[in-house]
Amino acid sequence: MAAVVLKNVTKAFGKTQVIYGMDLVVTDGEFVVIVGPSGCGKSTVLRMIAGLEPVTSGIIEIAGRVVNDVEPKDRNIAMVFQNYALYPHMSVRENMAYGLKIRRMAKPEIEKHVARAAKILELEGLLDRKPRELSGGQRQRVAMGRAIVRDPAAFLFDEPLSNLDAKLRVQMRLEIQKLSRELGTTSLYVTHDQVEAMTLAHRMVVMNAGRVEQIGAPLDVYLRPATAFVAAFIGVPPMNLLNGRIGEGVFTLGNGLAIKLPQNAPRPPAGTEAILGVRPEHMEPVGEPDAALALGVETIERLGADTLAHGTFDGHPMVVRLPAEARLEAGTRLALGLVPDEIHWFDPTTQQRLEFAPR
């Protein structure tokens, strides 16, 4: 096991900059998830750590050694890819053993490593099968087994579950969690799926357009997003964000329509331009006199455990999370109040989080 450290790492393809000065420390045994939308640069970061892409500038260290000019095979890392990358003509046993075989490891040692990985991943009964005889989840476990047998300093996962169906993804997330606890190996995991990031990570790195927006424990990122981008990206459904100006006890949108703010809610001084953020679960039905706003309900999602009401407030799309038993129909107006301690503020220019003491 070992730490993985990035110091002011940048990457450019010709004149196109794709990674801007990234700093990251993944401590020994830590499981860090890099999450962000497609094209944000997360897989490029992983490939630079693996040595599959050269670094334009900056330093990458693995186990205290600078590896910028070290060949991928000599970095002592193991990578699990999105597409499994198994040899179709080899058995599960042969696929898992191949990397050790080309390293000229003794046959008894190879068998010992394969048996250990097969036991951890519950592949013992599948060792003589070919990849075509396996399900998608089983193939991905074989790909992870091939990485485990190497006993690397760090694991790199590049969207390993994206080819699986929803049910298998849930199952494999649980297996990866279990694997992480058992092995305790330093791991970097890349995904665009925020649910994977929230459930797997010790810490998560939220990226946007080649830059790190926030690094922190999943719950901290969810409860206190550092930027408006993080607020909108992390959370299902995403946070509702509205642009406007603070008045005396109200938040006025650009067209003059006002949202009534709770009396004791933290907020910027009157006259400040700001972005107001509130999560769908932090709005609640109230009587008309106490309402902060009235949502015009357009569509309803009944999810069993709860109900999502989608609509607009003066043309701005919004969503509110309600109890499963909520009686609501499309075309109605829903009076909503805001939970005072769960209102978020962001600077409309920098998009950075703003903090204010309760009134």
The answer to whether 4-229 and 238-354 have equal CATH topology is: no
User: What's the confidence (pLDDT) of residue 1?
Assistant: 57
Asked if 136 contacts 144 with a C-beta cutoff of 8 angstroms, the reply is no
CB-count exposure of residue 94 (10 Å: 0-12, 13-18, 19+): middle
Q: Name the residue type at position 180.
A: S
Q: How many CA atoms lie within 13 A of 130 on its CB side?
A: 5
Q: What's 4-229's CATH class?
A: alpha beta
CB atoms near residue 110 (< 10 Å) = 19
pLDDT, tens only, 275-321: 999 999 999 998 887 788 999 999 999 998 899 999 998 888 999 99
CB atoms within 10 A of CB 239: 22
Above 90 in pLDDT, residue 180?
no
Please state, rounded to an integer, the average pLDDT across all residues of the chain: 91
Domain 238-354 has CATH 2.40.50.140: yes
Residues of the chain by 3-state class (helix, strand, coil), percent to 5: 30, 35, 35
Q: How confident is the model at residue 9 (pLDDT cuts 50, 70, 90)?
A: very high
The model's pTM: 0.89
Chain segment 63-93, per-residue pLDDT in tens: 999 999 999 989 999 888 888 788 899 999 9
Provide the CA 161 distance to its chain's centre, in angstroms.
Answer: 13
Question: Residues of the chain with pLDDT > 70: what percent?
Answer: 99
Asked if 24 and 205 touch (Cβ cutoff 8 Å), the reply is yes
How do residues 10-30 score in pLDDT, each as one tens digit? Answer: 999 999 999 999 999 999 999
Q: 261 near 338, Cβ under 8 Å?
A: yes
Q: How confident is the model at residue 359 (pLDDT cuts 50, 70, 90)?
A: low
pLDDT of residue 218: 96
What mean pLDDT comes out for the span 335-349?
Answer: 93
Q: Where are the domains of the chain?
A: 4-229, 238-354
Tens of pLDDT, residues 104-120:
889 999 999 999 888 88
